[in-house]
């Protein structure tokens, strides 16, 4: 009997430990070099390659490292031939890795772009010359097509790209590129293809189930430039672009992912110099139109994004609504959210141990290291605040059981940092009507006569407006919300009464 008690206690302790790990991020081995704007790629043997980026000395990096989940450590591997940041990284079907373009120095005001392409062979852990793009570019996209070639779109070139008409006559110099090219990694050559209708950089691209490529958002100009909601689709069979319906929100450095049913989720991203896009949208590929879906709880830009099995998409960290123009006003977040395509809803995943943005992330499966989850996401490096960088890395369990646990947690559905009533029988309720419109209304109910107050709270938990305390009678009431002085963004409306509190989501779109 005594032995049974001891065994039971051991099992209980083990279960508690595993469950605690399940619901939180845990640190794993740090990078050997502090880096942000680095790109990560999963290699065929289950290890992870980190390429380039920028260090705390504002230098672009050529160095590369490989993470081995069996040991939980990073090891330096062969460097690229040149340093690069804001480059792209693409996994080929044969296991090789292709990097294209990027900025080769760390100077924001005087950047130097490259047209260089390099290919990493995981069998030998070596880099080789992959040829060149037709145009040097950074902040572009690179999408693997069904025939294993790579479509490269747009980007930025500080030297400019000369535009000519059909006769070859000079028209103008573009810094925000509309040009596109297709790179063949087997012949190591690149050819121009039809340009986009609109030049853009810091945009997003996704391969559609049709084999076509969707491009959306981005911007023209610097941080105070024009933010785009325009979208277009490239058909590689006939080498044409077609413009489709624009998104409801402009988005730059946001999230774009294609689900197995062919629909595409657009979320997050900057929509102005000082705000993030408040809503999320789904593209119906049959009609090529966008419709609103559940908005993110904390809109961000420059997060790390990963598509998980079973049509779950997770976004981690990023920059919030700080003033994007001022480099001294960067506010990062540790929050993570995942979008369940089946539910068409966002849920909070556990917060990272530290805020980070401009970091890398990758999904992998491993079974050799029992101190790590079998199915995990790893985030690596990044920027944690103004002029603060990190080499730290964290992992999170994203197995099916873990996601079910996150979803079952009440806090996964609530705004972080805002107190919630856990009394499900609390005799108050609130909903916001007219979201995204110019005259939203808070509709709320009380089950008795009492004092009550309404507050509007921004996504950082700060009260930005308040409606005076007064006594309300039992029943349903309405209150118009003045949003004329509120910047575009996501807010919460809180009802406070002695008998309880309730919340509603308010979206301000201008």
Query: Residue 430's pLDDT is what?
Result: 82
- Model confidence at 76: pLDDT above 50: yes
Q: How far apart are CA 416 and CA 301, in angstroms?
A: 18
Query: Residue 414's pLDDT is what?
Result: 64
- Model confidence at 424: pLDDT above 50: no
Average of per-residue pLDDT across 297-319: 92
pLDDT grade, residue 507 (50/70/90)? Answer: confident
Query: Residue 419's pLDDT is what?
Result: 35
Global confidence as pTM = 0.78
Query: Residue 459's pLDDT is what?
Result: 57
**DSSP β-bridge partners for residue 138:** 156
- Model confidence at 3: pLDDT above 60: no
Query: Residue 14's pLDDT is what?
Result: 36
Choose between 452 and 148: higher pLDDT: 148
Average of per-residue pLDDT across 279-300: 94
Q: Which two tokens stand for residue 410?
A: 């009440």
**In this prediction, what percent of the chain has a pLDDT beyond 90?**
61
Q: For residues 483 and 441, is the Cβ–Cβ distance under 8 A?
A: no
Average of per-residue pLDDT across 102-120: 91
Domains (ranges, CATH) in the chain?
40-195 (2.120.10.80), 428-508 (2.60.40.1930)
Across the chain, mean pLDDT equals 87
Q: Residue 34 half-sphere exposure, CB side, CA atoms within 13 Å?
A: 12
Q: Lowest mean pLDDT of 177-186, 207-216, 235-244, 483-492, name the range.
A: 483-492
The beta strands (E) that lie in 111-212 are given as: 116-121, 126-132, 141-144, 150-153, 156-164, 170-176, 180-184, 189-193, 204-207
Mind listing the pLDDT tens digit for each residue in 139-164?
999 999 999 999 999 999 998 887 76
Q: For residues 380 and 390, is the Cβ–Cβ distance under 8 A?
A: no
**DSSP β-bridge partners for residue 414:** none
- For the stretch 136-170, what's the b/e string if a residue is b when 16 or more beta carbons lie within 10 angstroms of its beta carbon? bbbbbbbbbbeeebbbbbbbbbeeebeeeeeeeee
Neighbours of 331 (CB within 10 A): 16
Choose between 74 and 309: higher pLDDT: 74
Mind listing the pLDDT tens digit for each residue in 360-409?
999 999 999 999 999 999 999 999 876 788 999 999 999 988 888 888 77
- Model confidence at 499: pLDDT above 80: no
- Model confidence at 168: pLDDT above 50: yes
Choose between 344 and 496: higher pLDDT: 344
If you average pLDDT over each of 182-191, 289-298, 339-348, 404-413, which comes out highest?
182-191
Query: Residue 334's pLDDT is what?
Result: 93
Scanning the structure block, which residue is given the tokens 């490529």?
213
Average of per-residue pLDDT across 291-295: 94
Query: Residue 340's pLDDT is what?
Result: 93
Average of per-residue pLDDT across 426-450: 81
pLDDT grade, residue 329 (50/70/90)? Answer: low
Q: Lowest mean pLDDT of 73-87, 171-185, 201-215, 240-254, name the range.
A: 171-185
- Model confidence at 17: pLDDT above 80: no
Sign of the C-alpha dihedral computed for residues 372, 378, 382 and 384 taken in this order: negative
Query: Residue 4's pLDDT is what?
Result: 32
Query: Residue 170's pLDDT is what?
Result: 64
Q: Lowest mean pLDDT of 148-157, 223-232, 434-443, name the range.
A: 434-443
Query: Residue 274's pLDDT is what?
Result: 80
**In this prediction, what percent of the chain has a pLDDT beyond 70?**
88
Q: How far apart are CA 260 and CA 308, in angstroms?
A: 11
Phi, psi of 6 (to 5 degrees): -65, -40
Query: Residue 384's pLDDT is what?
Result: 85
- Model confidence at 18: pLDDT above 80: no
Query: Residue 38's pLDDT is what?
Result: 92
Read off the DSSP letter of residue 18.
Answer: H
Average of per-residue pLDDT across 3-20: 34
Choose between 13 and 42: higher pLDDT: 42
């Amino acid at each position: 009997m005594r032995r049974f008690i001891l065994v039971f206690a051991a099992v209980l302790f083990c279960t508690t430990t595993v469950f605690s790990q399940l619901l939180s991020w845990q640190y794993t081995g740090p990078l050997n070099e502090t880096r942000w704007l680095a790109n990560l790629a999963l290699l065929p043997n289950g290890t992870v390659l980190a390429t380039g980026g920028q260090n705390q000395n504002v230098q672009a990096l050529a160095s590369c490292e490989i993470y081995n989940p069996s040991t939980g450590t990073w090891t330096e591997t062969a460097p690229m031939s040149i340093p690069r940041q804001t480059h792209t990284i693409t996994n080929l079907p044969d296991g090789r890795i292709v990097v294209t373009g990027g900025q080769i120095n760390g100077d924001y005001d005087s950047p130097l772009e490259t047209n260089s392409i390099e290919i990493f062979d995981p069998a030998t852990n070596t880099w080789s010359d992959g040829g060149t793009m037709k145009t040097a570019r950074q902040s572009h996209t690179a999408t693997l097509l069904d025939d294993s070639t790579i479509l490269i779109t747009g980007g930025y070139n500080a030297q400019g790209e000369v535009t000519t008409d059909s006769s070859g006559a000079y028209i103008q110099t573009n810094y925000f590129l509309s040009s596109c090219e297709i790179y063949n990694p087997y012949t190591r050559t690149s050819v121009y293809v039809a340009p986009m209708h609109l030049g853009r950089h810091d945009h997003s691209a996704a391969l559609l189930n049709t084999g076509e490529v969707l491009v959306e958002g981005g911007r023209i100009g610097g941080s105070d430039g024009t933010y785009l909601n325009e979208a277009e689709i490239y058909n590689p069979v006939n080498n044409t672009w077609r413009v489709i319906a624009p998104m409801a929100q402009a988005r730059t450095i946001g999230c774009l992912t294609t689900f197995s049913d062919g629909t595409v989720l657009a979320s997050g991203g900057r929509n102005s110099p000082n705000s993030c896009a408040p809503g999320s949208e789904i593209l119906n590929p049959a009609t090529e139109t966008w419709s609103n879906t559940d908005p993110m709880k904390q809109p961000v830009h420059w997060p790390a994004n990963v598509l998980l099995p079973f049509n779950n998409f997770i976004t981690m960290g990023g920059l919030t609504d700080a003033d994007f123009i001022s480099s001294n006003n960067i506010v990062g977040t540790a929050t993570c959210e995942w979008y369940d395509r089946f539910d068409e809803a966002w849920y909070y995943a556990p917060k990272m141990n530290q805020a980070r943005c401009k970091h890398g992330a990758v999904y992998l499966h491993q079974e050799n290291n029992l101190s790590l989850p079998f199915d995990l996401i790893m985030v690596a490096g990044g920027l944690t605040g103004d002029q603060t960088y990190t080499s730290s890395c964290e992992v999170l369990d994203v197995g099916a059981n873990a996601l079910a646990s996150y979803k079952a947690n009440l806090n996964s559905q609530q705004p972080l940092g805002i107190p919630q009533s856990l009394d499900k029988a609390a005799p108050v309720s609130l909903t916001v009507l007219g979201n995204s419109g110019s005259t939203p209304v808070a509709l709320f109910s009380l089950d008795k006569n009492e004092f009550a107050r309404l507050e509007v709270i921004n996504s950082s938990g700060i009260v930005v407006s308040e409606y005076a305390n007064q006594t309300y009678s039992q029943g349903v009431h309405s209150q118009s919300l003045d949003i004329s002085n509120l910047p575009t963004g996501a807010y919460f409306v809180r009802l406070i009464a002695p008998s309880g509190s309730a919340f509603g989501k308010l979206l301000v779109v201008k």
